Amino acid sequence: MSVGLVLLLTISVAYAAGFKGIMKAWRSPTNAAKAMVSGSEPYDAATVRKLLQAYIADSDDIKSHLSTSAESEDLKRRFTAFQSDAKAALGQLDSAAKFKAAYAPVMDNCSSCHDKYRD
């Protein structure tokens, strides 16, 4: 299903820009966290904590704007799973190795949702 249609069905037109804005805001700090995971940037627990907290808070914001259509309910479930993986990762920040292991499942939520709902 095309994303345009999904957004039309699930997210009010007024909120579509807000949704995209949140996703866009995640891009750069997510790339920074990936660089820490790959070792090309030094690991910084405070920076990744902020990012994980933003994923969790922003997902609450998105969920509060979704309707009760079947697609919306699926999206809500996906954002809730994403939040729970992000919460688990918050408890694994004391070393780069632990963060790396906990961040992989967090990232899987991005790709699996995009595979289904993003053009």
Positions that interact with ligand HEC (CB under 6 A): 3, 7, 20, 23-24, 26-27, 30, 55, 75, 78-79, 82, 109-110, 113-114, 117-118
Four-residue CA torsion sign, 5, 7, 9, 15: negative
Residue nearer to ligand HEC on the CB measure, 7 or 96: 7
CB of residue 23 vs ligand HEC: minimum separation in angstroms? 3
CB of residue 95 vs ligand HEC: minimum separation in angstroms? 21
Residue nearer to ligand HEC on the CB measure, 26 or 43: 26
Distances (CA, A) of 49 to 10, 43, 45, 90: 30, 11, 6, 6
Tell me if 68 sits within 8 A of 47, measured CB to CB. Answer: no
Residue nearer to ligand HEC on the CB measure, 94 or 115: 115
Tokens 């922003």 found at: 58
Tokens 């070792």 found at: 39
CA angle 114, 83, 22 (to 5 degrees): 55
Residue nearer to ligand HEC on the CB measure, 84 or 96: 84
CB of residue 112 vs ligand HEC: minimum separation in angstroms? 8
